[in-house]
Structure 1
Amino acid sequence: MNYLFIDIECANCKDGGKLCEFGYVLTDSSFLVLKRENILINPNTEFDVYVLNHMLNFKKSDYDNSPLFSKFYQKIFNLLTDKDTVVIGHTIGGDAVHIGDDCIRYGFDTPDFEYFDIVEIFKDFKQTDNATSLVNMCIELGIETGENVHSADVDANLTMLVFKTLCEKQGVTAEQMILNSPRSRGLIKDYAETVARKNNYKRYLEDCKEKGIKLIDKDEYNVLRLFRRYSVAREKNFIPQLKGKFVCISENFERENYNQTLVLIQKIKNAGGFVVPSASKCDVFVKYDIPTLDGQGVYCKKLELVKQTIERGKKVQIIEINEFIKLLNIDISALNEPMIKVVEKFIKNKTRHAYSEQTGTTIGEIINSKNEKN
């Protein structure tokens, strides 16, 4: 088995990444370097001024005089999809997406490939949930970084050295290191379909605006966030499937159903569950589909994250909203119960003051403002 360590640089990431560098280091399982290369690419677009002046190590003319992405597409595609190669990078999920963006921009098929993130592997090594930059990883491990950090091949090589050093420190093989860190595993698949759903989401927002459909606003979102965090069970209606479980609700439902989401949060807590905003940390995900004319459905970022979490080996139950309501033993009409007074009761001085310090506005003032508007 070979190991491919990659890094990319983009000219800009507006409406999708535009690659200007693809760097890689290919090794065998003993970390013998088989090939190292930095592919300079003409991004055929404007450069982000800050990126060009402060992050990239080549002159603009070096990129402008290089071939377009189409020249290197097949080579990059073959490297990433080789069945006998493990792909590793630092925050590589974003790199995988940007590569897919450029493939779509030039009309090519997007590569489907499994990858492993050194950030998550390092978290396991340090026994922390805090992400660490590549440079700081090198500093902690005593790896010399040199002066050309952010050249794609340099960063790819540093990623390889970090991975190699972690293997040595723990006395494990490269294969064992990967197996010991299941949360580092990621997968990009059918990315073109994901992009299509994202575009559907943009059209959906435009349609809502044209049709006057009320969506959650910033103040309502803040109330929702705090109610999710601080509210407690008002009744004890424990449900075995939810007791002690972390539940995440689709943002598609929250966006269109402010009051109903407040009710749902309260019902989940009454059932003994916890409501979390993070899709990657939930045990149960409440799915809510919004159909579109092309049948793709509105893009749900949290659902995509849940799918990735499942791919990494975590067990997460995905349940449709109507089935979830049945699980709560309530009628769908119960979601229309007015929640303003309930929310007011849950607000305590500590919560109010903590929020007021950050925004200058108390939750009570937000709620009163909503009442006045209505």
Structure 2
Amino acid sequence: MRYLFFDIECCNGRNICEFGYVITDDKFNILEKKDITINPENKFNLTGRPDGRDLYLYYPESTYYRSNKFPYFYENIKKLIEYPDQLIVGHAISNDAGFLRSACRRYKLDPINFKFADSQRMFSEFANIRKSISLETAGENMNVEKPKYLHKSDDDSELTMNLVKGMCKQLDCSLEELIELCDSCFGKSENNQITYDDFEIRQQKRYEAAKSGVNNTVKGRNYRMFLQFLDGVKPQGDIVESDLNDKSLCVSLNYEIGHFKEMLSLVQLLTNHNATYKMRASDNDIFVTCDAKDDEGNIRHCSRLKHVNDVIAEGKNIKIISFDELLKILNVTEEELSTMPFPDASSFYKKAKPRQRAKKKEPKFEKKEFKGPTLGDLFPDLFKKLKNEIDEDK
């Protein structure tokens, strides 16, 4: 699997004059970077526009006019974008898809069909904001190194790649998992129609796939479903009184990552005990260990346990228990976890995040009534003279 990040510049907001891209492997290592200048066969209108800010491209206009026209590059661009085993990402990429559609229509060429992920929408969900953020601003928010030139299409493609790479790093996930986490970012350009996927349809497909049991790992789509279940799960009946009441727990990755169905059952039982499951191990009251071996028979390392031991060494109070101890408290066997009914679809729907409002700053000093002598009290003759002069002027 490779990743393609591309960006398009236009001479007037419609006609393509530059196409740039970056190809990486699934670890974001750059395999190829290139930009192509294209004769737009139209005038440049990028400054002094009443409805937009001035935009300055890297190359002079003469360079674009000396370049070949879009049909000359069409086959190579089409081959690049329609490459079978790749994910395509761009910032506000529906605009770029629209530019390609317009160019194909203009020169009577077959449409270029592809699926895409929009890094602008990814960042909006990542940062929990509702407005669209420019690539430059998003990069600054993520402390991504600025390219040498802005509005140079290959450099903008690399900036998009670094933005996505930064989000994946902070969330500790792959690009595929990031796309699954961001409902609104995925779309397609097909037969001159540019659309974003409908959340309800995608959610139903995810639910049916998870319920089928074909994949029982907490990865990819199941990872997203698990996060949604943590948000949506509710207690069944009265709260069970136990030592888990009002506690937060986390289970070793040795168990969690390979037992999606069982983890859903486990979280439901914990919720019935008024306990909370948190995936950040060091934020919990209790950590549950689970020994496991790899294919070669060696004890499998759990990164969560290391983090827990680190914060315990720093003074945090986290109780460590075994998986068998947890099952005993919950009065359930591991086999029963796997045979419990699959949760209802309504338990997986994502809750809307509340919009964060900036707090009003309190004044540094409290305004108090002044009770001391005034200047009029200290200099009565002077103020009387000034008052008389003002009255005379009137």
What's the TM-score once normalised by structure 1's chain length? 0.50
Check if 1:10 corresponds to 2:10.
yes
- Equivalent positions of 1:202-217 (< 5 A) are none
Quick one: distance in 1 between partners of 2:191 and 2:110?
A: 9
2:57–2:152 contact (8 Å) kept in structure 1: yes
Quick one: distance in 1 between partners of 2:144 and 2:74?
A: 32
2:88–2:117 contact (8 Å) kept in structure 1: yes
- Equivalent positions of 1:110-189 (< 5 A) are 110-189=111-190
Quick one: distance in 2 between partners of 1:311 and 1:85?
A: 25
Quick one: structure 1 residues 49 and 174, their matched pair in 2 at CA, closer, same or farther if it must change by over 3 Å?
A: closer
Check if 1:309 corresponds to 2:309.
no
- CA displacement 1:91-118 (0-9 Å, x = unmatched): 0001101111101111110111111000
Consecutive unaligned residues in structure 1, runs of 5 or more: 195-303, 316-374
Match of 2:25 among 2, 10, 28: 28
Quick one: distance in 2 between partners of 1:75 and 1:311?
A: 36
1:11–1:51 contact (8 Å) kept in structure 2: no
Quick one: structure 1 residues 51 and 168, their matched pair in 2 at CA, closer, same or farther if it must change by over 3 Å?
A: farther
Q: What secondary structure, in the 3-state scheme, does the structure 2 residue paired with 1:313 have?
A: helix
* Partner of residue 48, structure 1: 45
Quick one: distance in 2 between partners of 1:122 and 1:54?
A: 23
**1:162 is matched by which residue type in structure 2?**
L
Q: How far does residue 309 in structure 1 lie from its aligned partner after superposition? A: 3.0
Consecutive unaligned residues in structure 2, runs of 5 or more: 205-394
Q: How far does residue 311 in structure 1 lie from its aligned partner after superposition? A: 9.2
**1:34 is matched by which residue type in structure 2?**
L
Quick one: distance in 2 between partners of 1:309 and 1:62?
A: 42
* Partner of residue 107, structure 2: 106
- Equivalent positions of 1:219-234 (< 5 A) are none
Quick one: distance in 2 between partners of 1:188 and 1:30?
A: 26
The higher radius of gyration belongs to 2
2:117–2:187 contact (8 Å) kept in structure 1: yes
* Partner of residue 274, structure 2: none
Q: What secondary structure, in the 3-state scheme, does the structure 2 residue paired with 1:38 have?
A: strand
* Partner of residue 337, structure 2: none
**1:79 is matched by which residue type in structure 2?**
L
Identify which range, 141-150 or 103-112, moves more after superposition: 141-150
**2:152 is matched by which residue type in structure 1?**
S
Q: How far does residue 130 in structure 1 lie from its aligned partner after superposition? A: 2.0
Q: What secondary structure, in the 3-state scheme, does the structure 2 residue paired with 1:182 have?
A: coil
- CA displacement 1:11-32 (0-9 Å, x = unmatched): 123xxx2110001000010111
Q: What secondary structure, in the 3-state scheme, does the structure 1 residue paired with 2:149 have?
A: coil
Quick one: distance in 1 between partners of 2:155 and 2:106?
A: 27
RMSD: 2.2
Give every structure 1 segment of 4 or more consecutive aligned residues whose post-TM-superposition deviation is greater than 6 Å: none
Quick one: distance in 2 between partners of 1:11 and 1:103?
A: 17
Quick one: structure 1 residues 106 and 115, their matched pair in 2 at CA, closer, same or farther if it must change by over 3 Å?
A: same
- CA displacement 1:237-259 (0-9 Å, x = unmatched): xxxxxxxxxxxxxxxxxxxxxxx
Q: How far does residue 61 in structure 1 lie from its aligned partner after superposition? A: 0.8
- CA displacement 1:313-352 (0-9 Å, x = unmatched): 368xxxxxxxxxxxxxxxxxxxxxxxxxxxxxxxxxxxxx
If each structure's helix is expressed as a fraction of its own residues, which one has the higher value?
1
1:7–1:95 contact (8 Å) kept in structure 2: yes
2:39–2:67 contact (8 Å) kept in structure 1: yes
What's the TM-score once normalised by structure 2's chain length? 0.48
* Partner of residue 237, structure 2: none
Q: How far does residue 141 in structure 1 lie from its aligned partner after superposition? A: 1.2
Identical pairs, percent: 31
2:46–2:56 contact (8 Å) kept in structure 1: no
Quick one: distance in 2 between partners of 1:158 and 1:20?
A: 20
Q: How far does residue 44 in structure 1 lie from its aligned partner after superposition? A: 1.4
2:120–2:133 contact (8 Å) kept in structure 1: yes
Check if 1:69 corresponds to 2:70.
yes
Quick one: distance in 2 between partners of 1:104 and 1:176?
A: 35
